[in-house]
Chains A and B, each alone.
Chain A
């Protein structure tokens, strides 16, 4: 398959044509443009190497995320950034190319923090290997992490090595009735006080906190903080991660605001909060969107449309300074001199 793709890329480069790298399409809604002949990553699929004792898994790009998660769960391990699928056939390649992480992100790290190495076919058709499969590697530029969130603009990510973590021994979710300001304060303080927290969400007047780790640690945290137990916690967090919760279903135009974790809530817009306060989902119409973006920049971050509105990418692109835009263009050209792949992603990327 790799040979075939290399030929396809070389041919497209020679003819000045474009290629559209695509997996299952589960995250296409995040991607601005897709032109040219399809290059379906699902043709290159399978787990290349997985010895749980190594705490490393090496996977081909077209492998279903579900398949990888199943193999890891069977061995008592996980991808610790809890990646959302946003669709049944979500692939590993798409997960890395979009760089989207789930609820555990604020506590365990993002996709890029677990990428140990990656192989990529660049726009000249060369198949290259960056990083490796060891926990630490500082040999040369950190290109494998540059690929995370690059939306296919630098090349076809063909294979990725991830660091695996053991599944927690114990897990418990507690629910606390509180307003958003109290919830933001609690999320930040409890985490700073070293509670074994792995997810926080505030929605509809309730704060959901997931504690996980060794049983005694989880038990002592639960006793200390109180709250109500959440019975179907696995399903609840899965639904939240996949954005099947009613909050998402009901939102007409949903914006994603990334900000410092203690930023105050905007009272006049329906909001859900996660990642200890650092990620806000805000329902805003066109009239409110400008205000939201202004508030986000005051809170040291960005807001952009996630679903249902105008392109997320146009607004965020304006936030890049001229020298940064130049650097982006130079990087793009370094990998893809003939512009075979999708254009530069200038949208806010959920890393």
Chain B
């Protein structure tokens, strides 16, 4: 079985846009600038413009848009903050982009139950700012200040995943608008049960291809009594990697442990004006817990880093120092982008069994060494997940081709080591071939599910699941 989609006729599009204008007035926008802004994420800007961008404010409004599109067989693409990396937002067949930014209310905060319910347009920074006074926080932090709807749809994770998990472990339930325009709720306030299949897990990470996530019930965590961040530098990348592997095997409950190679560190020092660091392989770490627990974790880590020739620790205990450090880490992508003026960059997203991590990073570096390109490595190495950011000149077709070939090869190396082509960025349009390579026949079942739940293939068509 294969999926198909034909670009709707210009008349159909015009009629739909007219109907949306009538219902939404100036909240249905067709200007080129707005459509262009909604046609890509932070990845490669190979734009494919939607025909119209609509800014709904309620679940019911979204349902009405989707119903209209389903009748007219017009694609629907959900847009949060536009920070996805794999072409998730590109309107391959035009269609209606639903911008969820006006759905930015925090609907409930249940401090005692450690959960909250938010609309999909709430960003992770907004949520944390608004719940600060409750002594709670939401830990998942992809680099960008993404919307929680987008983070749910792409099953995002971040630097805290080792300790707090990723979106999939932190979502209790969802409200979803189905492709036929109905509003459903999955999961309940009760975090430990649901009737029937675990549909929440199916929608989380479906990249807008099964429905539009409009509300999310999220777990929250108490802000730990003590948070301590530390930086340790190494002469050899492999030593830094081995420190992480050892820490994971000992079960040290690191809140964060992030690797930057010497090139990435150089870029970050320059971009974020970090002082007192060398351009060397580096680990950024953070410890959460009670005073006693944090002190114990730091002692354990110090003995491991000493075994692998790590430097003395530089601590950042004051909130502003920690913020600066993690801001620099989160800006690694932008640091990489600006490392060579005029260049663009994109990032691979391999995740491998942790014992293969050092090998996989070395093999990836060797792959780039075959080209004339610059690359830098940053990773949530506690999970076996790392990104090779490949920098290239966008005006040089040969460089771009080299970069794309190398990225595909790096994904293949990871799959060959028993890993995956994507640990957190998702499939979008750029990794459809890798998905087939990784999952084989299982992709047929995914396609069957897509066909069953979205028979007209209007939900973000051409993404996530290969059409054939």
A and B part of one assembly: yes
Chain A residues proximal to chain B, CB less than 8 Å:
51-56, 99, 101, 105-106, 109-110, 112-113, 122, 126, 128-130, 132-143, 145-146, 148-150, 165-166, 168, 188, 191-196, 213-217, 219-221, 258-262, 275, 278-279, 299-302, 316-317, 319-321, 323-324, 327-328, 330-331, 333-335, 344-351
A226 to chain B: closest CB distance in Å?
A: 16
Interface locus among B34-42, B244-252, B303-311, B395-403: B244-252
> Cβ of B421 < 8 Å from any Cβ of A?
yes
A141 touches B354 (CB 8 A): no
Most A C-beta atoms less than 10 A away, residue of B154, B290, B355: B290
Contact of A139 among B197, B206, B421 (CB under 8 A): B421
Most A C-beta atoms less than 10 A away, residue of B136, B188, B385: B188
A53 touches B249 (CB 8 A): yes
Name the B residues within 8 Å of A110 (CB-CB): 192
A138 touches B424 (CB 8 A): yes
A54 touches B354 (CB 8 A): yes
Contact of A193 among B168, B196, B225 (CB under 8 A): B225
B165 touches A351 (CB 8 A): no
8 contacts between A and B (CB under 8 A): A132-B420, A135-B161, A136-B157, A142-B155, A192-B136, A217-B290, A302-B188, A323-B182
A165 touches B251 (CB 8 A): yes
Given contacts A139-B421, A349-B193, A351-B194, contact A194 B222 (CB under 8 A): yes
Name the B residues within 8 Å of A56 (CB-CB): 353
Interface locus among B75-83, B109-117, B319-327, B334-342: B109-117
Listed from nearest, the 8 A-B pairs whose CB atoms lie closest are A300-B189, A301-B190, A166-B251, A258-B193, A217-B293, A136-B423, A330-B452, A192-B222
B154 touches A146 (CB 8 A): no
A113 touches B424 (CB 8 A): no
Contact of B353 among A134, A301, A335 (CB under 8 A): A134
Name the B residues within 8 Å of A324 (CB-CB): 184, 186, 196, 199
> Cβ of B204 < 8 Å from any Cβ of A?
yes
B197 touches A217 (CB 8 A): no
B290 touches A138 (CB 8 A): no
A136 touches B383 (CB 8 A): yes
CA gap between A135 and B379 in the complex, in Å: 13
B422 to chain A: closest CB distance in Å?
A: 5
Given contacts A135-B351, A138-B154, A142-B202, contact A129 B453 (CB under 8 A): no
CA gap between A345 and B251 in the complex, in Å: 36
Contact of A213 among B112, B197, B293, B355 (CB under 8 A): B293
B113 touches A133 (CB 8 A): no
CA gap between A192 and B355 in the complex, in Å: 34
A302 touches B427 (CB 8 A): no
Closest residue on chain B to residue A167 by CB atoms: B251
Residues of B244-271 at the interface with A, using a CB-CB cut-off of 8 Å, are: 245, 248-251, 253
| Total A-B pairs, Cβ < 8 A | 274
A278 touches B112 (CB 8 A): no
Closest residue on chain A to residue B411 by CB atoms: A139
Most B C-beta atoms less than 10 A away, residue of A112, A136, A140: A140
B190 touches A260 (CB 8 A): yes
Contact of B201 among A112, A220, A259, A278 (CB under 8 A): A112
CA gap between A53 and B384 in the complex, in Å: 13
**Binary interface profile of B, 291-309, with partner A (CB < 8 Å = 1, else 0)?**
0110111001000000000
Closest residue on chain A to residue B135 by CB atoms: A192
**Binary interface profile of B, 312-352, with partner A (CB < 8 Å = 1, else 0)?**
00000000000000000000000000000000000000011
Given contacts A214-B296, A216-B293, A335-B445, contact A139 B195 (CB under 8 A): no
**Binary interface profile of B, 430-460, with partner A (CB < 8 Å = 1, else 0)?**
0100110011111111101110110000000
B253 touches A213 (CB 8 A): yes
Contact of A55 among B154, B198, B249, B443 (CB under 8 A): B249
Chain B residues proximal to chain A, CB less than 8 Å:
110, 112-115, 135-136, 154-155, 157, 161, 165-166, 168-169, 178, 182, 184-186, 188-199, 201-202, 204-206, 210, 222, 224-225, 245, 248-251, 253, 288-290, 292-293, 295-297, 300, 351-355, 380, 383-385, 418-427, 431, 434-435, 438-446, 448-450, 452-453, 464-465
A126 touches B288 (CB 8 A): no
Closest residue on chain B to residue A137 by CB atoms: B420
CA gap between A278 and B426 in the complex, in Å: 33
A257 to chain B: closest CB distance in Å?
A: 9
Name the B residues within 8 Å of A146 (CB-CB): 197-198, 201-202
Given contacts A136-B424, A260-B113, contact A278 B192 (CB under 8 A): yes
B442 touches A275 (CB 8 A): no
Contact of A216 among B292, B418, B439 (CB under 8 A): B292
Given contacts A135-B385, A139-B427, A146-B197, contact A258 B192 (CB under 8 A): yes
CA gap between A56 and B383 in the complex, in Å: 12
Name the B residues within 8 Å of A300 (CB-CB): 188-190
Closest residue on chain B to residue A130 by CB atoms: B442
A54 touches B353 (CB 8 A): yes
A331 touches B449 (CB 8 A): yes
A261 touches B292 (CB 8 A): no
CA gap between A135 and B222 in the complex, in Å: 24
Given contacts A55-B248, A139-B420, contact A351 B190 (CB under 8 A): no
Name the A residues within 8 Å of B192 (CB-CB): 101, 105-106, 110, 258, 275, 278-279, 350-351
B190 touches A259 (CB 8 A): yes
Most A C-beta atoms less than 10 A away, residue of B115, B296, B421, B440: B296
B143 to chain A: closest CB distance in Å?
A: 15
A332 to chain B: closest CB distance in Å?
A: 8
A278 touches B439 (CB 8 A): no
Given A128-B441, A146-B198: 10 more A-B contacts, CB < 8 Å: A129-B439, A139-B427, A141-B205, A141-B446, A145-B201, A192-B114, A300-B189, A328-B196, A331-B197, A334-B449
CA gap between A275 and B352 in the complex, in Å: 33
B110 touches A260 (CB 8 A): yes
CA gap between A165 and B250 in the complex, in Å: 9
B167 to chain A: closest CB distance in Å?
A: 9
CA gap between A195 and B292 in the complex, in Å: 11
Closest residue on chain A to residue B289 by CB atoms: A194
CA gap between A142 and B434 in the complex, in Å: 16
Name the A residues within 8 Å of B169 (CB-CB): 109, 113
CA gap between A214 and B161 in the complex, in Å: 20
A139 touches B290 (CB 8 A): no
Name the A residues within 8 Å of B189 (CB-CB): 259-260, 299-301
Closest residue on chain B to residue A153 by CB atoms: B197
B305 to chain A: closest CB distance in Å?
A: 18
Closest residue on chain A to residue B451 by CB atoms: A334
Closest residue on chain B to residue A141 by CB atoms: B446
Name the B residues within 8 Å of A53 (CB-CB): 245, 249, 354-355
A258 to chain B: closest CB distance in Å?
A: 4
B161 touches A141 (CB 8 A): no
Closest residue on chain A to residue B226 by CB atoms: A194
Name the A residues within 8 Å of B194 (CB-CB): 348-349, 351
A122 to chain B: closest CB distance in Å?
A: 6
B113 touches A261 (CB 8 A): yes
Name the A residues within 8 Å of B427 (CB-CB): 138-140
Name the A residues within 8 Å of B444 (CB-CB): 126
CA gap between A141 and B204 in the complex, in Å: 8
A278 touches B190 (CB 8 A): yes
Name the B residues within 8 Å of A262 (CB-CB): 110, 112-113
Closest residue on chain B to residue A277 by CB atoms: B113
